[in-house]
Amino acid sequence: MERYFGEQTPKLGFGLMRLPKKGLGRIDIEQTKKMVDLFMEAGLTYFDTAYVYDDGDSERAAKAALVDRYPRESFTLATKLCAWMGVHNEKAAKQQFYTSLERTGAGYFDYYLLHALQAGNYKTYDKYHIWDFVKEQKEKGLIKHWGFSFHATPDILDELLTEHPDAEFVQLQLNYADWENPHVTARENYEVARKHGKSIVVMEPVKGGALAKPPKKVGEIFREANPEASYASWAIRYAASLDGIITVLSGMSNLEQMQDNLSYMKNFKPLDAKEQEAIRKAQEIMTGVKSIPCTACHYCTAGCPKQIPIPEIFAARNQQLVWGQLAEGRRQYAKAVETGGRAGDCIACGQCERACPQQIDVITRLKDCSVQFDV
């Protein structure tokens, strides 16, 4: 008998947000198929996409690589409705559900989420009656379980779970670097969700890939504790070791990442006491790292009037801030702005900051990047 909803679900989920790309930035369907095959062969079943990922190509890739190739009962599929990004009325918001059904060909969704609730947008889901709409789809059998993904403060999460006690799960950003981060409030959000008895799907366990390349001192701690383990494995196993977790989403971008994740998550074992101590030491170091906490979700770029590749610029700056690699940061910046705007082109319209799940002061950060790179 399950102690909580989703306890028996395999603890690694395949996040379809950062799928492999090929020419012109299109998703590489053939490589995605190979990744799906490895994932399914390992006995893992949870796939996660969203209406807005890759302008819908993520959902189409789910159809081509998964739905069209495997019996529907052999996997579970999650997708999301975003009522605030490029949406201006209730009809358009609700249409996303039907479009997602068409794109994926899934027939129904095992998990359906209200997408990326934040302080500046969560009331839009009330305004457009999305909570009731999702419940109606569940009554029709088109949704098996529903919840929401969340990027705000614990008081808002408590408010939402009090007002919507029938939400079955919450998707939260949980990783060892953000556990005590005051901008992410990971620990407090986790505690609120568990106080309400909600199971949790974990997103950004590797913080947009940043924890796969941690600062040097953190890497030394992990290598000393287990020289064979990848840095990403520490992050994913940390999240999966928490109580009440349905699954931990990993946005894998190539076969190598999939193979690495399967090597330790196919037969998942929670962190032991020694490993937890290594994590605590890593957390102490991470609190002093002054990196830009960008997870490369690209929500900020969708409406940028200057087409500035903000996540790629921030990644270039982090190459300098975290690793001290000044020349490499400049090289990455030059490549990032070849086909888009430069950091100094920002007109401070603020749409990026309103969209950012990490609450980054994007405008100020871009000014700093411009000082470093636009010379």
For 167, the enclosing helix (H) or strand (E) is none
- 282, two tokens: 């890593």
- Predicted local distance difference test score (pLDDT) of residue 50: 98
Q: Quick check: pTM over 0.85?
A: yes
DSSP designation for 27? B
Q: What 3-state DSSP class applies to 42?
A: coil
- 344, two tokens: 């100094």
Contact present, 330 and 316 (Cβ < 8 Å) = yes
Closest Cα partner for 142 from 94, 210, 71, 203?
Answer: 94
- What is the identity of the amino acid at 130? I
Closest Cα partner for 130 from 82, 194, 201, 168?
Answer: 82
Q: What is the pLDDT of residues 55-100, one digit of tens each?
A: 999 999 999 999 999 999 999 999 999 999 989 999 999 999 999 9
Contact present, 286 and 258 (Cβ < 8 Å) = no
- Predicted local distance difference test score (pLDDT) of residue 340: 92
Q: Within the chain, which residues score under 50 in pLDDT?
A: none
**Rounded alpha-carbon distances, angstroms, from residue 93 to 128, 188, 245:** 7, 30, 29
What b/e readout covers 232-260, taking b as 16+ CB neighbours within 10 angstroms?
bbbbbbbbbbbebbbbbbbbbbbeebbeb
Q: Report the C-alpha gap between 58 and 370 in whole angstroms.
A: 32
- 243, two tokens: 């109580």
- Predicted local distance difference test score (pLDDT) of residue 92: 97
Contact present, 242 and 201 (Cβ < 8 Å) = no
Q: Report the C-alpha gap between 148 and 361 in whole angstroms.
A: 25
Q: Which domains does the chain have, with CATH numbers?
A: 12-286 (3.20.20.100), 310-373 (no CATH)
Beta bridge partners of 78: 48, 111
Which residue's entry shows tokens 């749409």?
Answer: 351
For 281, the enclosing helix (H) or strand (E) is helix 273-286
- Predicted local distance difference test score (pLDDT) of residue 287: 84
